[in-house]
Amino acid sequence: MAGNSRSIDARGWLFEVEDADTPGTWLPIAGITSWSMNPGENEEVAETTSFDSDGDYEEDVMQRGASITVEGQYRIDKTTKAQDPGQAYVDKDWSGRLGIDSHNNLRWRHETQTSWVVWDATTTPGEQAGGTNEKTGWSATFRKSGKATVAAVTP
């Protein structure tokens, strides 16, 4: 029934990073004002065109990938002046790691969904900037490594 379907609000998406030092502890990323997912990031194909293709291009997908970029405002606690724990984890704990240590878990879902999508991911911090009458910006890009999994939402 098309009459019952409704669009969902973009502001209802939730993004959290797992604290690798305390497995099972998820840190929400605050201050997000926009996000985008690229489900074709890092996709690789092998051309399979041959004389038998009669001039039509043919290919097989050999590798799938995906990325999520979140953008927003650099957030601090009004009392302690400490950066938002989720943002701080990405900036100070995760983004400087190399090699096998560069991996961490990211999970995301819309508030209307009953399960999380969980990625083993790597991250690249984005630019932090702002102008005279602006708030300081914050962003990060997460790239999926391996297959995504799902986890039930628990209280």
* Cα 79 from Cα 60, distance rounded (Å): 55
The single residue listed with the structure tokens 């099972």 is: 24
What is the distance between the alpha carbons of residues 34 and 72, in angstroms, rounded to a whole number?
Answer: 6
Instruction: Give the dihedral sign, CA 10/153/95/63.
Output: negative
Count of residues making up the chain:
155
| Residue ranges of domains in the chain | 2-152
113-143 per-position pLDDT tens digit: 999 999 999 999 999 999 999 999 999 999 9
Collect the ranges in the chain with pLDDT lower than 70: 1-2
How far is residue 60's CA from residue 44's CA, in Å, rounded to a whole number?
Answer: 9
Residue 155: what pLDDT? 77
Chain CA centroid to CA 132, Å: 29
* Residue 1, pLDDT score: 53
Task: Report residue 62 as tokens.
Answer: 């050999």
Alpha carbon distance, N-terminus to C-terminus of the chain: 32
* The CATH number of domain 2-152, selected from 3.30.70, 1.10.3470, 4.10.410, 1.10.720: 4.10.410
